Amino acid sequence: MSDGQTSPLSIEDYATTFTEALTCQINKEDVGCMIQTQKEMLSRYEKTNEMLLNFNLLSSSRYEATCHKFKKDTLLLYEMKKDLDTVFKRIRNLKQRLNKIYPEAFSACNEMKATENKDEDNNIGSNLSN
């Protein structure tokens, strides 16, 4: 190595040289600004996350309350339907009984009802055309 040749640089020397070259090109103010911006964004994301968690808790409790009310109202409607079915069944039985006891009067009532229905249909049709 005495013939004027320099000793080859080791890999570590190349890495150090490359790293120093990169760090010389970086503006420390820009890096500080980027770090500050990232901290601000992190703060915003944390606040947004907190708001979303609160919203989820609120909507979950409202959903549970609505489901409970919906089930309660559904049961009420089911009971009302059963009651109406019972009422209509009783009315049907009464009509059948009256038809057996008073067939002439019952058929006359049915004819009157049919005539009234036709008159109502005609009135509705004429009102719609006007």
Please state, for a pLDDT cut of 70, what percent of the chain lies above it: 88
pLDDT tens digits, 87-129: 999 999 998 998 899 889 888 888 888 888 877 777 766 666 6
Write b or e for each residue in 67-106: b if 16 or more Cβ atoms lie within 10 A of its Cβ, otherwise e: eeeeeeeeeeeeeeeeeeeeeeeeeeeeeeeeeeeeeeeb
Give the number of residues written for the chain.
130
Q: Which of 87, 106, 104, 83 is nearest to 96 (CA)?
A: 106
pLDDT tens digits, 77-88: 999 999 999 999
